[in-house]
Homo-oligomer: A and B are copies of this chain.
Amino acid sequence: MANVLEIIPLGGIGEFGMNCTLMRYGDEMLILDAGMGFPEENVYGVDVCIPDFEILEQYRNDITAIILTHGHEDHLGALPYVLKKINVPVYASHFTLGLAESKLEEHGLLGDVLLHRVEPRDVVTLGSFVIEFIRASHSLVDCFHLAIKTPVGTIIHTGDYKVDETPVIGEPIDLRTLRRYGQEGVLALLSDSTNATVPGRTPSERAVIPAFEEIFTEAEGRIIVAAFASSIHRLQIVFDVAQQFNRRVCVLGRSMQKNVDIGERLGYLDIHDGMLVSINEAKQLADHEICFLITGSQAEPRAALYQMATQVYKGLTIEEGDTVVLSARIIPGNERAISKLIGFIYKRGANIIEEKRRLIHVSGHASQDDIRIMTEAVRPKFVVPIHGEYRMLFRHKEFVKNHLGFPEERIVLIENGDVLELDGERAAVVDKREIKRTFIDDSGFEEIEYDTVRERKKMAYEGIVTLLLTINRNTGELQGKPQIVAQGVRGFPSAKANGGQASPPADGAILKDAEQTVSAAITGASRQTFEDASLLKEHVRLELKRFIQKETGARPVIVPVIQEI
């Protein structure tokens, strides 16, 4: 084991989100990114998910640092949870640390962690690892590729990127340094697969400027731009074009306000004096003098856009004459909600500019020809597609193989939990660790156990019946009636959740029959069953289950409880 490098992805492979990778040599380990994901379990009260960091326990004494490529939630969002487990130094860019600090503060961790700010071209030596931070271009600012020299060879981790030679903010991608590593020899390229299915080049962040200028030229009323709060280049464009067309900008929505604040404070956003106005100032301006920059491009019900479209948000509603610009892609899964939201906005009589109709959004991720440029610059021995669903990873492999002539045996497809071992010559998955997801209730940053979510799923599907039997401890007799308390069961009266009703509802005939079924089951139970609480519970549960299924066809969760008095 001494002369090998291990790469273990904890998340981000075969899924969107939760990007996090362990890199280990001997008894030294780095954590590359610590991202969160947005699971489909949100109807079960799960707001976000993170990788199960239990695996870190066994490496507790080996982990030397957390390195962040950039500040998007799918790379940064799990940072507080990792740090609560293992408090090690964090290395990240100026802007990424700005976002990280705000997050750590929310978790009450800010004073307790060591944050190292690094600049592009900085080289940091951490034991056997020598890490150079290389300027990447992406939809966010201040993003890095990582070049990690290890005893078995150099690993390039692209982070998120596209090849943008004309970003709005900051310098272009540092291809020169990537090429230098390529000339020196790169063992493996861990490379963003998000857009590996998309032919051609990803347009520069600047590409949306003409469409914004057109929109600002045409609009006579208010302009409302909804964008991702983290699309810092995009926000700068909105400020610039607003300036050009003599409009002030009012920023609405918590994350948008936070990011504009951080972006301006750290010097990334260049906002003219007097450009930013409060909501009250905005209301005083004429319609052609104002632009709202807001959250909610994904039709999130609590975000500014949805609120303005469906009711009154801080005294504002979308009205006839407004122009609403949806300057964001549709995240898969949100199509229905966004289409509905657009309907609401049309109903208000506003004009809507969608991505499909004008170039008002560009991706931050490498398309196939960006991947070509990256791969040809870095000239790695092995290509390891990361960051994407399997579909993208496979298409990444297919592209590199078929269009770049890269030998198939040197393209390594891995999965979360795979232990990829590299010795300088060979790359092979030698082990598989089980990495679950941890569900988080974001309101209190609390974990929600798997079992809790599983129970919620079951109840959600067919409801629940709680069955309480009160048994006299001395006589062993049933006291009173069996208490049957149903919620969400089809064809079965529900107990009122909010009290206020003393007796079962009038349509309680089936409830009485159910009680009789249970009573009869108890009467008919053998002595042995009756004396063993768990046997008795299972007996009555099955009888009640059969009764309900026969009478209504429903198969709710049934929870039998015995009370002895």
Contact = CB atoms under 8 A, between A and B. Distances in A.
B335 A494 contact: no
The 3 lowest CB-CB distance pairs between A and B, nearest first, are: A343-B390, A460-B460, A499-B537
B343 A391 contact: yes
Contact of A489 (B339, B443, B452): B452
The dominant DSSP class at the A interface is mixed
Interface string A466-501: 101010000000011101010111110011111111
A256 interface: no
Interface stretch (A53-61, A215-223, A315-323, A557-565): A557-565
A336 interface: yes
Interface string A530-565: 000110011001000000000011100111111111
B44 A460 contact: yes
A512 interface: no
Number of copies: 2
B483 A563 contact: yes
Nearest to A471: B480
B470 A459 contact: no
A369 interface: no
Given A456-B463, A464-B487, A468-B483, 6 more contacts: A40-B336, A333-B333, A456-B488, A470-B470, A487-B559, A497-B557
B553 A455 contact: no
Contacts of A342: 390-391
Interface in A37-82: 40, 43-45
B495 A559 contact: yes
Contacts of A453: 488
A559 B43 contact: no
A341 to B, nearest CB: 9
Contacts of A501: 534
Interface string A401-412: 000000000000
A564 B534 contact: no
A268 interface: no
Interface core residue of A446, A460, A499, A553 (most chain B CB under 10 Å): A499
A460 B562 contact: no
A498 B560 CA distance: 8
Interface in A278-324: none
A462 B346 contact: no
Interface string A122-160: 000000000000000000000000000000000000000
A489 B448 CA distance: 9
A389 interface: yes
Contact of A563 (B40, B394, B468): B468
12 contacts: A347-B394, A446-B552, A448-B490, A455-B494, A456-B461, A466-B466, A466-B468, A466-B495, A487-B557, A499-B560, A500-B537, A502-B562
A534 B501 CA distance: 6
A399 to B, nearest CB: 12
A420 B468 CA distance: 54
B480 A470 contact: yes
Contacts of A389: 339-340, 343
A538 B466 contact: no
B538 A488 contact: no
A393 B487 CA distance: 39
A541 B499 contact: yes
Contacts of A491: 446
B565 A449 contact: no
A230 to B, nearest CB: 21
Given A534-B500, A553-B444, A565 B470 contact: yes
